[in-house]
Structure 1
Amino acid sequence: MDYVKDFIKSAREVVSKVGGEVYLVGGYIRDRLIGITAQPKDIDFIFNGNIEKFMEELENRQYKFFPIKQEIGIYRCMLGNNSIDISLMEGDSIEEDLKNRDFTMNAIAIKLSGDKVKVIDPFYGRRSIDNRIIKNVTDMSLENDPIRILRGVRFHISYGMHFNLDTEKCIEKLGYRIMDMPMERVFKEFMLILEKDNQGKAFEVLDNYGILKNIIPYIEELKTIGKCAYHIEDVFTHMNLTYCVFKDILNGKVSVEGLNLHVFQDKIGEFKLREYMSLACFLHDIGKYEAYRKDGDKVSFWGHEMKGAIIARNFCRNMKFPKKAQSYIENIVDGHMYPLKIFKQNSKDKKNDFYKFFSKYDGYIIEILTAAYCDNYATRMLLDVENEKVRFKMFIEEMLKEYELYCSISEDKILNGNDVIQILNISGPEVKNVLEDVTRFRYLGKIQTREEALNYLKVKINNNYI
């Protein structure tokens, strides 16, 4: 069912009955001119006339509108997951209304009322689209709403279009004002950029236009440090490469056996985990500037993951990320070095090291292992004298298998709290500790069955556990 065509037909019939003017505007027109034929999630209309009568007649046709901003005449109708927005015309003409739009490619209208459908393009938006140019409608377009800069970057990334020189100058001039805008809007536009960025260009583009340093702390400082025994590149370059590796994993250009990409399809709020994960991959070394130490020729970043977790948490909190997303990103940044440390230790008792890692970061393990792999891949694609990239990939794949085992054991309870209470005569946190011990011994292969677990409890009694 084409809800767009159905509504346009109804809108034309209603406006011919109640009078007024109705125009189709916005992204629907832009996308069709660009060549995107997918069904849009939302469409926008401008109405000039008695909007109450217009709404009343539409309601008779089963279109239920509700006010979004009634004081300025903006209404919405939800059709499943799709939405239709109708706004009262601003100014005395459609041309005056379109003048308030952000970019010329979005300042095109189609008049639906009257005998003939008419395209209205006072700012040559079709020419901009043909020339692959993102051009602000007026000099005040970005001045009045700097958030539009982020929208422009999204269009640049999504459509492969480029800003014209005048718009670039406006962006360079006004980029610092983005963070003065409501954080909820900044968050949404920032995340939409990551959502649309399939090629891993987002942070490079944001940086090239001088925008990124206004959004994320320490960007300029991180460009000045990083070269050490493990890196030939600066920290910012490495962070960006790590982000690109994750995008390559999502695109199938890089594969990791046992990594289930479906986990990144879950959502926190309106965005998928893949977007939050993308950001976590970029932010993984954000703490290196604060952790930077130099002793003679020796450079170190000890504890950068802990400092980075704090910086990431504060950044996400300031940007009004959902609390669950804040915790998600913080834990990934905090834990991203853990797998590499186990790998470097090469302990004979690595199963015990695995268990400590799994129990500490349970709920974020797949993400941390992915971030650790992307981090190492980004490092070793530039400097890998000992073939570590291949060996570490095998290690991550091993850890993914071990985590599957850990999860299956954790979910398959062979003892419960009542068993522990009855046999050991204890209560409270001690019960949980005993059950965790049983899980650990099962993972390590020291306990296989319920009978062996019960015997373990009896041994505790004999050893004067209580």
Structure 2
Amino acid sequence: MNFEVWPEAIELGQMFADEGFELALVGGPVRDLLLHRRSHDLDFCSNARPEQFEPILRRFGHDGFWDMGRKFGTLGAMRRRPDGTEVKVEVTTYRSDVYDPDSRKPEVSYGDSLEGDLSRRDFTVNAMALTVPDLEFVDPFGGANDLNKRVLRTPVDPYQSFDDDPLRMMRAVRFVAQLGFSIEPETAEAITRMTDRIEIVSAERVRDELTKLLLSDRPRAGIEALVDSGLADVVLPEIPALRLEIDEHHRHKDVFDHTMIVVDRAVALETGPDGPVPAPDLVLRLAALMHDIGKPKTRRFEPGGKVSFHHHDAVGAKMTRKRLKALRFDHHVVEQVSDLVDLHLRFHGYVDEPWTDAAVRRYVKDAGPLYARLNRLTRADATTQNRRKALMFEHAMDEMEERVAKLKEQEDIDAIRPDLNGDEIMAELGIAPGPLVGKAYRHMLEYRLDNGPVDHDTAVAELHNWYASQAE
């Protein structure tokens, strides 16, 4: 095969060869070469131990060196090209990662051959190598053929592979999303039979795979694979629970199918890099995925065959917060996604009866920095097949956004505050700090929301009128 290989890879390979060591480009970079993609993050493996190749990497990495992965046999370095492009390399000693049945962390043992190292990798499409500097293509498990077929298959028996490293099952569904591949039947069956094994993997590692899946070009395909495999029953059980039985008269939508449509629509509504919701946006995509998880718990069959899901937004927000915390997502992600789930029905009343300016201000204030995401989630959630209803909804949302834009020209509704602050309230009323100040502040905030900005004298008069009413 003909390869156009990174000159840095050739140079590093020669540096290893000069010291008597083997070096091979492995994994994703080799796969991407065959897919005609380019990467600036290069993964290598070698028969040299970290203490042996550390001096080589330090000489190679003019602009950076790191050793956070030393206990796993991995060191990294970075250099910057004249055009400013960064090329990052990581070198790992031939190895085997094996989980103790009762441990959440892999034990690392070193191997002694390139083929042995490749046999321990997750899938054949990642078990190809290119030796450097001589550029020999090494493919002992038919990875190039599987790449051509767009199939994910383990290099060794899948039960052994997933037993050695259960996280590979999560990587399988992630690659479905990232690469658009399918999982080979025997490999898929092994995942289904071994889903409980994922429980020994740390929540952080599962979260990282889920995040990569959601930020891919095809998150829906990955989510569906996660559910079909049974892995979601363990790591994200709220999603397969959305597959509610449809009543015999088909009077309500299947919630899982609806959610998948909302995920697709939310992705399509993300903006360019300079827009309010640049793609890919993890918070919006998580909110689209989780927005209806409260429905199974709140489903009620009403008289006449109707089905209701009262308060599924509030229930779903609590469930979302609990699940994302369990998966160790960052606090700000947990809070933002939970808030979006809680708010995702807020706009619907506008369609039936346009809001007052005060209601529009409250909507913007409650959404806060999530305003742009909330509007996109709301639009994505409007999946009705009734063309007339769909057009009415779009028109109402367009109208509301136009009103917000006009209000923003007149006042700073993104950061609404009362016309009098706490110090001014205490000075006007002659009171000391305490609960009454907070009560007055809240009243003045409500007044501001209802009436928009007013002049100082009007605000003072309203404060005194309110204070007088408290004494009655």
* Structure 2 length-normalised TM: 0.82
CA contact (8 A) 1:226 1:235 kept: no
Whole-Å separation in 2 of the counterparts to 1:197 and 1:150? 17
The answer for unaligned runs of 5 or more in structure 2 is: 81-85, 96-110
Once the 2 structures are TM-superposed, how far is the Cα of residue 457 of structure 1 from its aligned partner? 4.0
Which residue in the other structure is 2:147 paired with?
Answer: 129
**Aligned counterpart for 1:352 among listed residues 354, 358, 365:** 358
Whole-Å separation in 2 of the counterparts to 1:287 and 1:446? 35
Change (3 A) 1:127 1:351: same
**Aligned counterpart for 2:289 among listed residues 279, 282, 295:** 282
Once the 2 structures are TM-superposed, how far is the Cα of residue 454 of structure 1 from its aligned partner? 4.2
CA contact (8 A) 2:57 2:77 kept: no
**Aligned counterpart for 2:326 among listed residues 310, 318, 339:** 318
Q: Write out per-residue CA displacement over residues 406-450 of structure 1, whole angstroms, 9 at most, x where no aligned residue.
A: 672454866444333322224356555555555554554464434
Matching residue's letter, 1:294? F
Whole-Å separation in 1 of the counterparts to 2:459 and 2:168? 62
CA contact (8 A) 2:351 2:392 kept: no
Which residue in the other structure is 1:304 paired with?
Answer: 312
Whole-Å separation in 1 of the counterparts to 2:248 and 2:435? 45
Whole-Å separation in 1 of the counterparts to 2:66 and 2:185? 41
CA contact (8 A) 1:342 1:353 kept: no
Once the 2 structures are TM-superposed, how far is the Cα of residue 399 of structure 1 from its aligned partner? 3.2
**Aligned counterpart for 1:264 among listed residues 270, 277, 301:** 277
- Name the SS of the counterpart of 2:68 in structure 1: strand
**Aligned counterpart for 1:328 among listed residues 313, 332, 336:** 336
Q: CA RMSD in A?
A: 3.2
Further displaced range: 146-155 or 243-252: 243-252
Superposition pairs of residues 447-462 of structure 1, within 5 angstroms:
447-457=453-463, 459-460=465-466
Which residue in the other structure is 2:412 paired with?
Answer: 408
Change (3 A) 1:246 1:350: same
Which residue in the other structure is 2:24 paired with?
Answer: 23
CA contact (8 A) 2:16 2:56 kept: no
**Matched length:** 439
Matching residue's letter, 2:74? I
Once the 2 structures are TM-superposed, how far is the Cα of residue 18 of structure 1 from its aligned partner? 1.9
Q: Write out per-residue CA displacement over residues 301-354 of structure 1, whole angstroms, 9 at most, x where no aligned residue.
A: 11111211121111111111111111111111111122113444x27x633333
Which residue in the other structure is 1:65 paired with?
Answer: 65
Q: 2:399 matched to 1:398? A: yes
**Aligned counterpart for 2:91 among listed residues 86, 89, 96:** 86
CA contact (8 A) 1:23 1:45 kept: yes
- Name the SS of the counterpart of 2:37 in structure 1: coil
Matching residue's letter, 1:408? D
Which residue in the other structure is 2:44 paired with?
Answer: 45
Once the 2 structures are TM-superposed, how far is the Cα of residue 403 of structure 1 from its aligned partner? 4.4
CA contact (8 A) 1:150 1:193 kept: no
Whole-Å separation in 1 of the counterparts to 2:142 and 2:75? 28
Matching residue's letter, 1:54? F
Whole-Å separation in 2 of the counterparts to 1:157 and 1:150? 11
CA contact (8 A) 2:58 2:77 kept: no
CA contact (8 A) 2:364 2:413 kept: no
Whole-Å separation in 2 of the counterparts to 1:417 and 1:220? 49
Which residue in the other structure is 2:346 paired with?
Answer: 338
CA contact (8 A) 1:23 1:110 kept: yes
Matching residue's letter, 2:25? L
Further displaced range: 440-449 or 191-200: 440-449
The answer for unaligned runs of 5 or more in structure 1 is: 253-259, 266-271
Q: 2:265 matched to 1:245? A: yes
Q: Write out per-residue CA displacement over residues 165-210 of structure 1, whole angstroms, 9 at most, x where no aligned residue.
A: 2222222222343343111111010110111134743323333333
CA contact (8 A) 2:49 2:73 kept: no
Once the 2 structures are TM-superposed, how far is the Cα of residue 125 of structure 1 from its aligned partner? 1.2
Whole-Å separation in 1 of the counterparts to 2:236 and 2:60? 48
Whole-Å separation in 2 of the counterparts to 1:243 and 1:327? 19
Matching residue's letter, 1:87? T
CA contact (8 A) 1:200 1:244 kept: yes
Superposition pairs of residues 434-449 of structure 1, within 5 angstroms:
434=440, 437-438=443-444, 440-445=446-451, 447-449=453-455
Further displaced range: 305-314 or 229-238: 229-238
- Name the SS of the counterpart of 2:154 in structure 1: coil
Further displaced range: 423-432 or 69-78: 423-432
- Name the SS of the counterpart of 2:244 in structure 1: coil
Q: Write out per-residue CA displacement over residues 81-139 of structure 1, whole angstroms, 9 at most, x where no aligned residue.
A: 763211112322111111100111111111115xx321111112112112222211111
Whole-Å separation in 2 of the counterparts to 1:50 and 1:205? 38
Further displaced range: 15-24 or 103-112: 15-24
Once the 2 structures are TM-superposed, how far is the Cα of residue 402 of structure 1 from its aligned partner? 4.5
Which residue in the other structure is 1:368 paired with?
Answer: 374
- Name the SS of the counterpart of 1:263 in structure 2: coil
Identity among equivalent pairs (%):
24
Matching residue's letter, 1:141? S
Q: Write out per-residue CA displacement over residues 344-381 of structure 1, whole angstroms, 9 at most, x where no aligned residue.
A: 4x27x6333334444444333333332222222x2x13
Once the 2 structures are TM-superposed, how far is the Cα of residue 45 of structure 1 from its aligned partner? 1.1
Which residue in the other structure is 1:293 paired with?
Answer: 300
Matching residue's letter, 1:398? E
- Name the SS of the counterpart of 2:90 in structure 1: strand
Once the 2 structures are TM-superposed, how far is the Cα of residue 249 of structure 1 from its aligned partner? 1.6
Matching residue's letter, 1:30? R
Change (3 A) 1:420 1:53: same
CA contact (8 A) 2:54 2:75 kept: no
Change (3 A) 1:221 1:35: same
Change (3 A) 1:370 1:51: closer
Change (3 A) 1:331 1:447: closer
Change (3 A) 1:232 1:82: farther
Change (3 A) 1:439 1:185: same
Further displaced range: 206-215 or 125-134: 206-215
Whole-Å separation in 1 of the counterparts to 2:181 and 2:470? 74
